[in-house]
Amino acid sequence: MKVISIQQPFASLIAEGLKEYEFRTWKTAYRGEILIHACKGISRENREAMKKFAGYHLEYPTGCIIARARLTDCVKVDDRLKEELREKNFVVYSGTTEHDGWEGYGFHLEDIEKIEPVFASGKLGLWNF
């Protein structure tokens, strides 16, 4: 099964159903079931970003697969998408370098389901588990 490694806190936001887009500089033609892997390390910048999500009472496991979803689309990020997502959830989709002023592609995730963590080493790109 395909897997994508995502840094915390964004992997947990996806696992909890709070974030339905993952942003990348590259596009993919893959559509289908995908596992969400939380990367091992947490950068200083991302530790700072976690503070704004304190109200969600999230846990931030690392080095493990924490959710499954369906990747249903890959869209070019434009101002319309940014505004739509900010309106949907301002806390999640604004105020971090991942989203503000960022250009690239949004991987649309649906049918997100949090699972018991399964320890795994991550990789770049989409990888097989």
> What residue segments make up the domains of the chain, in order of their start?
2-128
Residue whose entry in the numeric block shows the structure tokens 């964004």: 10
Buried b (16+ CB within 10 A) or exposed e, 73-99: ebeebeeebbeebbeeeeebbeebeeb
Instruction: Tell me the pLDDT of the chain (129 aa) as tens digits.
Output: 999 999 999 999 999 999 999 999 999 999 999 999 999 988 888 888 888 888 888 999 999 999 999 999 999 998 899 889 989 888 888 764 454 556 789 999 999 999 999 999 989 889 999
| Residues 32, 2 contacting (CB under 8 angstroms) | yes
CATH number of 2-128: 2.30.130.30
Say what the pTM is. Answer: 0.89
How far, in Å, CA of 3 to CA of 53, rounded?
A: 25
φ and ψ at 101, to 5 degrees? 70, 10
| Residues 64, 118 contacting (CB under 8 angstroms) | yes
